Structure 1
Amino acid sequence: MTRIHTVERRIHSDRQAVGRTTCRTSTSTFAAPLSYNGRIGCFCVSSKFNSIPYNRSSSMRLFLTFLVLVFIVVILGAGGNAGYRYLEEKKRPSFRTAKVDMGDIEESVNATGNVKPILTVQVGSFVSGPIVKLEVDFNDRVMTGDLLAQIDTRLFLANVRRDEATLTTREAEVKRTEALLRQAQRDEKRAQLIQEENADFISGAEMDQVIANRASLEAQLEIATASVEQASAALKNSEANLGYCDITATHSGIIIDRKIQPGQTLAAQFQTPELFHIAVDLDREVHVLAAIDESDIGAIEKALAEGRPVQFTVDAHRDDLFDGEIYQIRLNATTTQNVVTYPVVVIAANTEMKLLPGMTASLSFQTNEKRDIKRIPNAALRFFPTNTKWVHKDDRKLLDGSMWDDDEADTQISAKQKHTAAIKRKKRHVWIHEGEFLRAVEVELGISDTKYTELISGDLTEDQELVTGLKAKRK
């Protein structure tokens, strides 16, 4: 009993210190929080006076451990879900886009050409001999008739004097023959008068001799006259050769090439040697000779008929843009490795002398032009999806080839079929990003330049985004 009273007193004191205490007597159990060695515990007292300790700190630790495990599981689940979504988002392609807009398009044909003078005159020598004078140099400006060079004239001057003497001899021979002819004609008249008075005074043989002498002298006079003409022609030939010793400019222009040196001997027996090249009107305008492919020559002919401009650049003046116009389409086609080209001549002003003969020009022939039209970027026309997973199921048939026209690849198709195929090639597909997939939009195209193509028809609106390619993924 003493032990029971002691426990009850401790319970009473603990009830005051800690709080409400539950006691059950007789068949009940007394339970109270107690301070035992610094820990809050509980003694349960039964009617049989047995006491059982109960540790609340261990239960709390188990409960906290359970909460931590649950929290870790939740965090891992959320992290795994976020990681899965991140990986899926990383696998999903990101596309570059460009907008449909309104603007101008200038269709053109590009080609390369060479700058040439409008006229290049090759000055040569008709006679042979050593060069004794050289009056001009490279880039000199000359006028028609200016002396360029001179060949040694001594031999040609001697020929002139010889032919002059020959001509004088032939002319004197004519005069002598004329005098003899006049004498023969008078002798013939006397003989005829004497014969009329008395036929026996002059025999028939003597009369025939007089007549023959007169006729012979007439023939000699014709020969002498012809000899004079022959000698005169020889003299003119020698004088002309003497004149050819002076090499003169046949056109006004600029000396762009000189092929002789002072003291050089020319030999013109078999081929006329070239001495100078004169560029005519080089400081006024030039020609640019371009080779145009046969597939583009139709557009160039149309541009010539419509008077469309030509623009070009040269490497020597990269900051300058030169203007010209089509002057001529020449018909002498050139075939090189089965490629047929036609020479097209462009004329351009050259008052500043920036365009020099031989320069390479990069030309653009304007063949068509439209203003303020709906246009799409050419990059959108070049894009083609490489993975069917990106494409909506309704448009995947465009990728598997089920809608392709095999007749266009057949080289044996008729001309009409080729024409139809060319018209069909004006219809293309562009791709738009709709939700998670790409959708194809059929469009009909018109003229184009290097950046844009005219949109004739198609379910596209201004500022609509078109797919142009894949974005590079960051590592």
Structure 2
Amino acid sequence: MKHLGKTLIGAAVVAALAGGGYWYVQQRAAQNPETRYKFASADKGDVTQTVSANGTLTPLVLVNVGTQVSGTVKKLYVDFNSKVSAGQKLVELDQSLLQTVARQSRANVVNVQASYDLAKASEARMRALLDKEYISRQDYDQSLQNLKSAQAQLVQARAAADKDEVNLGYSVITSPVSGVVVARLVDIGQTVAASFQTPTLIQIAQDLTKMAIDTSFAEADIGNIKEGMPVRFTVDAFPNRSFQGVVQQIRLNPTNQQNVVTYNVRINVDNPELILLPGMTAYVSIGVQKRPGALLVPNAALRFKPADAGKKEGDAGKPAAGGPGQGNGGPGGGAPGGGKGKKRDSQSGTVYVLAGGEIKPVAVQIGITDNRNTEIVSGDLKEGDRVVTGENASSDKKPSSVGMRMF
């Protein structure tokens, strides 16, 4: 029995030593930067900074066809998607009342014409009598005044008749331009009233091969946008396809909603295939700056900060290795020490580089970004340097400070 007990104890000691060795090897491996961190290479390439917004596709020229007279819709000559030419009939209103008014006006012209003819004849007779001194000058002046009044009434009656004829013609609405009907807002039997404002009956897109996008950009981005800049956009109907456009106009009328100021930017778009439809939502992207052959690092490298970065700095607040500017932090890149230092500069950042088997902070000046990579303008970072972009999931657990329990 004693021999068996010694054998079991020896086996337990050997197992404990083996386990301790394995644990030590695992902890050493976990502290290895190659195992603990994720790396990416600082490489040169092209980077384009873009600004984005959403907009709505509209026809470049959209004509609202209305009516200047009131009435009931009697006939419809077009429908949605109908192709029309200039002067073509679109809608016809009931003409019964307008025809009656026009006939009354014509009859009034005949009546006033008769009065004018009588006044003219009377004036001629009175002039002949005046020449023979059979009447006074006052009687002749009275007949002349009657003639001029009858003439004015005739002109007024003819103008009223012309107006009623024009209104009768307005009961037939024709297309002012050639294009495609994109909206029909009335039906047969519907009454339209044009008393105070012109009601819209038909909407016509003059040329759907030319479209426009009306979109709004924040005031922080509008300073980088210029007329004539190329534009790329996508629509939900064709998610895997990119379309082209150009900035036509930056409208100076701002919109202020909840203290957020935006400006309307109008973009011209060619639509030769007629696949872009009015009302589609466009996701617009405008390249405002471009840097060819720039030194680039992933944005994740500027956001990364080791969990034990504070321990690398002394109690006196001495900066860790990495050179001057260590107290500055760029977008997503903080100061390694996390202590008090200079005010942060929005154009500065810090990346961690693998050097000599350990990671070291390097202060850099950053430029533009495309939301994936950021341009490095200056600093000690060189092409080919391996920068830390994050920690591996297996290294998230801190090593235990308690060793394996012995028997």
Q: TM-score, normalised by structure 2?
A: 0.85
Q: Deviations over 1:374-419 (max 9, x none)?
A: 211111112122323775764287344435445x6xxxxxxxxxxx
Maintained 8 Å contact 2:88/2:175: yes
- Cα distance change, pair 404–338 in 1 and its aligned pair in 2 (3 A): farther
Secondary structure of the 1:352 match is: coil
2:166 to 224, 229, 240: 240
Unaligned runs of 5+ in 2: 322-326, 328-334, 398-407
Q: Deviations over 1:50-72 (max 9, x none)?
A: xxxxxxxxxxxx9xx99999998
- Cα distance change, pair 136–290 in 1 and its aligned pair in 2 (3 A): same
1:86 to 22, 26, 42: 26
Task: Spell out the pairing of 1:194-205 with structure 2 (5 A cutoff).
Answer: none
- Cα distance change, pair 188–317 in 1 and its aligned pair in 2 (3 A): same
Task: Spell out the pairing of 1:447-458 with structure 2 (5 A cutoff).
Answer: 447-458=368-379
Alpha-carbon distance, 1:245 to partner: 0.4
Alpha-carbon distance, 1:90 to partner: 3.6
Residue aligning to 1:216: 142
- Cα distance change, pair 165–353 in 1 and its aligned pair in 2 (3 A): same
- Cα distance change, pair 168–84 in 1 and its aligned pair in 2 (3 A): same
2:213 to 264, 270, 288: 288
* Number of residue pairs matched by the alignment: 375
More helix by share: 1
The letter of the residue matching 2:78 is V
1:402 to 310, 334, 339: 339
Secondary structure of the 1:219 match is: helix
Alpha-carbon distance, 1:114 to partner: 0.6
1:383 to 304, 317, 335: 304
Residue aligning to 2:401: none
Alpha-carbon distance, 1:81 to partner: 4.0
> Based on CA coordinates, which of the two structures has the bigger radius of gyration?
1
Secondary structure of the 1:167 match is: helix
For 2:189 and 2:19, locate their aligned partners in 1 and report how far apart those are by CA, in whole Å: 97
Residue aligning to 2:275: 354
Task: Spell out the pairing of 1:336-375 with structure 2 (5 A cutoff).
Answer: 336-375=257-296
1:272 aligns to 2:198 (yes or no): yes
Residue aligning to 1:468: 389
For 2:261 and 2:280, locate their aligned partners in 1 and report how far apart those are by CA, in whole Å: 23
RMSD: 2.7
1:176 aligns to 2:118 (yes or no): yes
Bigger shift: 462-471 or 72-81?
72-81
Q: Deviations over 1:71-117 (max 9, x none)?
A: 98688556534433423544667111111111111111111111011
Maintained 8 Å contact 2:310/2:336: no
For 2:16 and 2:163, locate their aligned partners in 1 and report how far apart those are by CA, in whole Å: 115
For 1:449 and 1:217, locate their aligned partners in 2 and report how far apart those are by CA, in whole Å: 91
- Cα distance change, pair 428–184 in 1 and its aligned pair in 2 (3 A): same
Q: Percent identity?
A: 35
- Cα distance change, pair 213–457 in 1 and its aligned pair in 2 (3 A): same
Maintained 8 Å contact 2:64/2:202: yes
1:115 to 47, 50, 57: 57
For 2:74 and 2:82, locate their aligned partners in 1 and report how far apart those are by CA, in whole Å: 19
Q: Deviations over 1:284-339 (max 9, x none)?
A: 210001110000000013xx2xx331000000011221000000001111111111
